[in-house]
């Protein structure tokens, strides 16, 4: 039997065994279908970053750092600051990752995290402008996956959100008639308006489960990542070759929205911040 054929057979057997467990409402790690693994967040873990956070979601570990620079705004948004999200899955994170530039998985990871932050309006980019059309703050979010054990989308999003929510950036002034920004010596929080929460569900056969592990992702048919604000859903990303019916998506969004509220409160507690007004002032954890 060839290596590829053997791998196919092993994967098929693993999937059938997992479906037998799911039929009994069980998962390999003992969780319920909608249960998330334990979440922990540590902030200010990178001294040279304006903001940083390390997230553990079960055995998945991700670190995110925020850096700031002054730059010209994008042509289509002259009155808004810039946001750039990059992601890298380090070779030490998984035996399936090779050395070299970010692959398609890392690129998708960065885009999904970027979209959730951007579409949620988490950072009021209109307040990051020194002179419209000329000079704005550029916010760089760099994500590194340290250990990949499933559900990188949610873990990376939580890390990026925590890093942004607790960041302190250098303040500049640009007097009228001057072309040179002057640092004030102060460090100020980003204009954060809320905390978006990413939720990911996977389908294996007829069964839907949340926060899939790497082993569950290896046999899943499809995946759906949803990002929620306090008011509702703001972003969606589908993965895998399978599909979701409209009824399944509606049910998922309703379930995930309720669960997102719980996780948001958990994140706030770990960051030491309260509601939107307090989040907008930042936190010094």
User: What's the N-to-C CA distance of the chain in angstroms?
Assistant: 56
Rg, Å, the chain Cα set: 20
Dihedral sign computed on CA atoms, order 93, 96, 67, 78: negative
Distance (Å, rounded) from C-alpha 215 to C-alpha 217? 5
Q: Are 208 and 19 in contact (CB under 8 A)?
A: no
Q: Which residue has the tokens 């589908």?
A: 238
Distance (Å, rounded) from C-alpha 42 to C-alpha 24? 36
Predicted TM-score (pTM) of the model is 0.90
Distance (Å, rounded) from C-alpha 78 to C-alpha 61? 36
Q: What are the φ and ψ backbone dihedral angles of 204, each rounded to 5 degrees? A: -125, 105
Domains of the chain, earliest start first: 19-281 (3.30.230.70)
* CA 153 to mean position of chain CA atoms: 5
Q: Which residue has the tokens 């996780």?
A: 263
Q: Are 167 and 66 in contact (CB under 8 A)?
A: yes
Query: Which parts of the chain register pLDDT below 70?
Result: 1-11, 275-285
DSSP string for 60-87:
EEEEEEEEEEEEPPPTT-TTS-EEEEEE
Q: Are 277 and 192 in contact (CB under 8 A)?
A: no
For residue 240, the tally of other CB atoms under 10 A from its CB is 14
- Helix axis angle for 246-271 and 152-165, nearest 10°, is 40
- Between CA 93 and CA 102, with CA 96 as vertex, the angle to 5 degrees is 70
Q: Are 66 and 141 in contact (CB under 8 A)?
A: yes
CA neighbor of 63 nearest in space, from 120, 139, 118, 141 = 141
CA neighbor of 210 nearest in space, from 47, 12, 31 = 31
DSSP string for 25-40:
T--TTS--TTPPPPEE
pLDDT (0 to 100) of residue 25:
83
pLDDT (0 to 100) of residue 5:
53
pLDDT (0 to 100) of residue 57:
98
pLDDT digits (tens, 9 = 90+) for 141-158: 999 999 999 999 999 999
- Return the SS3 of 222: strand
**Residue 42 tokens, joined:** 């540590």
């Amino acid at each position: 039997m060839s290596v590829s054929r053997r791998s196919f057979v092993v994967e098929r057997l693993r999937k059938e065994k997992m479906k037998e467990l799911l039929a009994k409402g069980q998962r390999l790690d003992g969780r319920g279908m909608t249960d998330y693994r334990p979440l922990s967040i540590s902030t200010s873990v990178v001294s040279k970053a304006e903001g940083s956070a390390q997230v553990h979601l079960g055995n998945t570990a991700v670190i995110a750092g925020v850096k700031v620079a002054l730059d010209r705004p994008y042509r289509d948004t002259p009155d808004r600051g810039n946001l750039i999200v990059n992601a890298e899955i380090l070779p030490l994170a998984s035996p399936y990752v090779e050395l070299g530039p970010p692959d398609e998985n890392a690129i998708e990871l960065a885009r999904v995290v970027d979209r959730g932050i951007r579409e949620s309006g988490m950072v009021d980019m209109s307040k990051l402008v020194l002179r419209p059309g000329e000079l704005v703050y550029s916010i760089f979010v760099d994500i590194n996956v340290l250990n990949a054990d499933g559900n990188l989308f949610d873990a990376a999003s939580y890390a990026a959100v925590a890093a942004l929510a607790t960041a302190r950036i250098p303040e500049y002034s640009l007097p009228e008639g001057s072309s040179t920004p002057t640092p004030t010596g102060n460090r100020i929080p980003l204009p954060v308006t809320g905390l978006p929460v990413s939720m990911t569900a996977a389908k294996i056969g007829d069964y839907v489960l949340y926060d899939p592990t790497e082993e569950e992702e290896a046999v899943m048919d499809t995946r759906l990542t949803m990002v929620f604000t306090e008011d509702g859903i703001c972003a969606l990303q589908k993965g895998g070759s399978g599909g979701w019916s409209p009824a399944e998506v509606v049910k998922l969004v309703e379930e995930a929205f309720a669960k997102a509220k719980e996780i948001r409160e958990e994140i706030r507690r770990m960051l030491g911040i309260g509601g939107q007004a307090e989040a907008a002032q930042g936190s010094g954890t």
